[in-house]
Structures are given as C-alpha cells and as structure tokens.
Amino acid sequence: MAANSPPVPDLDFYPPFEGFSKKTVTFLKNLRKNNNRPWFEKHKEEFERDVKLPMQSMIVALQPHFHRFAPEVEVHPKRSLFRIYRDVRFSKDKSPYKTHVAAHFVIRGEAKGTEGSGYYFHIEPGQVFVGVGIYMPQSDQLKKIRKALAGKPDQFLSIVQESSFRRMFGKLEGEKLRRVPQGYEPDHPMAEWLKLKQFFVSVEWPESKCYKAGFVKEVAAVFEKATPLVKFLTEAGG
C-alpha cells in the first residue's frame, strides 16, 4: 500500500469512540486488588467490554490522524494493542496481568515494544501517560543515533529546541552516561546529547482526561508534535 493511501478499514466493527467509561478504570482498580487468574477469568467479559473494546475503538479513531502526519505508521485495533498478560519469565513479580491498558504504534512491519522508535500511550488508575521516541535502543541503534546527532546537529536541535515542542514536553527524558561515549571528544558541541542512552518525550495527564470525547484529538496532538523526533530517530536507524 502506498504511503499516501487511506488506511484500510478493519473487517471487525468497533463502535465510535466517545471517551472511555469510568468502568474502564474501575476494572483496572479491581484488577490491582485481584491480580490472579481465577478472578480475571470470572470477570473476563467485563475486560472485553469495558477495557479492550473502548481501547480498540480509540485506536481506530486515531487512524485518520496518523494518516495525516505519519501514514507510514501502522494503527491497527488488534496489532497496536498491548496484551493485558504480563511476561513473568524473568520477573520476580509473578502477577499475571498488567494493571494498565496500552497501545504502541510503529512503522508497518516493525515489532512493537521498547527497542524501536514509536508512539505509545496507556491508561491506569489515576493517570494517562503519552510517550513518543525510543525507550530502550539496542547498542547498534544507539551508535547510529549518536552518529546522526554528530552529523546532523542542526536538524536535531531544530526539533528539540523548537518553542512549541519545549512548551509541550520540556526536554528529552531518559538515562544518560556520565561521560561522552567512546569515539567522541569530551568537548564535542553535542556532548550532552551524545551522553543520552534513551530518546523520548512524554506528557502525563490526570485520569479524568480519558473520559472526554476529545481525548483522541489531544493524544493525536501530542503524537503529531513529536513526529519530527520519531522521523529523525527512524532515519538514523533507531
């Protein structure tokens, strides 16, 4: 499908998104208190109706927005949705379920997760989180991004220092090295940026934000504002 083609409608029907119901957060609160398989199985119908379906409807509602500012990104009500089940193989916490509902949007063909550039948001009791960028780049990705920072500093700085970008996000978040990475001079003009190990921005809102019909437009506005950052990272190899 060409990059400027309209999104292909999903074969399943999803009701128009008019904001999340308070039942969504009530379910997640109850799941925090009863994070076990017997309880979840007993209340699975509520999860499907009050959490999963409205989240899928929101994803569908985001499709035309992404088509306008990032048509190369897949926005799919099934594939963009994170599963509620936790991967507990390497975790001391063996709770089987996540207590938030989340979606992640990446370029078509790429795997959603923490290693590539993309768009993410989740809802949990008390908070809405919207994040954009790359959270845990692999070593080779990090090297490519740093090479792009050193080679195209003006392009990068024009994104992260733009006034409306700074008003919305402040500054890039994430861990950083104490020293400039090997291969770059300590006094490199991009030294502070080269120290970064993660490249993402985020906003946090109160839970009440998600109950409004305009929630889709507000999330889309955050995603659109950070799209130049995603494209810089993606072109760099992140």
The two tokens of residue 173 are 């978040």
Q: How many CA atoms lie within 13 A of 132 on its CB side?
A: 24
Sign of CA dihedral 71, 72, 73, 75: positive
Asked: is 22-236 a CATH 3.30.930 domain? The reply is: yes
Residue 92: the pLDDT is 81
Taking residue 112's Cβ as centre, other Cβ atoms within 10 Å add up to 19
The whole-angstrom separation of Cα 204 and Cα 127 is: 7
Phi, psi dihedrals of residue 199, rounded to the nearest 5°: -135, 90
Residue 1: the pLDDT is 44
For residue 130, the surrounding DSSP H or E stretch is strand 127-134
Nearest CA among 123, 145, 124, 107 for reference residue 227: 107
Task: Print pLDDT tens along the chain (238 aa).
Answer: 444 555 545 557 899 999 999 999 999 999 999 999 999 999 999 999 999 999 999 999 999 999 999 999 999 999 999 999 998 787 888 899 999 999 999 998 887 776 679 999 999 999 999 999 999 899 999 999 999 999 999 999 999 999 999 999 999 988 999 999 999 999 999 999 999 999 999 999 999 999 998 999 999 999 999 999 999 999 998 6
The two tokens of residue 120 are 């993410």
**Four-CA torsion 89, 90, 96, 98, nearest 10 degrees:** -130
Residue 2: the pLDDT is 45
Q: What is the pLDDT of residues 176-190, one digit of tens each?
A: 999 999 999 999 999
Nearest CA among 146, 172, 151 for reference residue 228: 172
Nearby residues of 216 by Cβ (< 8 Å), 6 or more positions away? 17, 58, 61, 62, 65
Q: Where are the domains of the chain?
A: 22-236
Residue 6: the pLDDT is 53
Give the position of tokens 């490249």. Answer: 199
The whole-angstrom separation of Cα 201 and Cα 169 is: 6
The two tokens of residue 58 are 């929101």
Nearest CA among 121, 108, 154, 142 for reference residue 233: 142
The whole-angstrom separation of Cα 69 and Cα 146 is: 25
Q: Is the pTM of this model over 0.75?
A: yes
Residue 115: the pLDDT is 66
Task: Give the CA angle between residues 224, 228, 234 to the nearest 5°.
Answer: 115
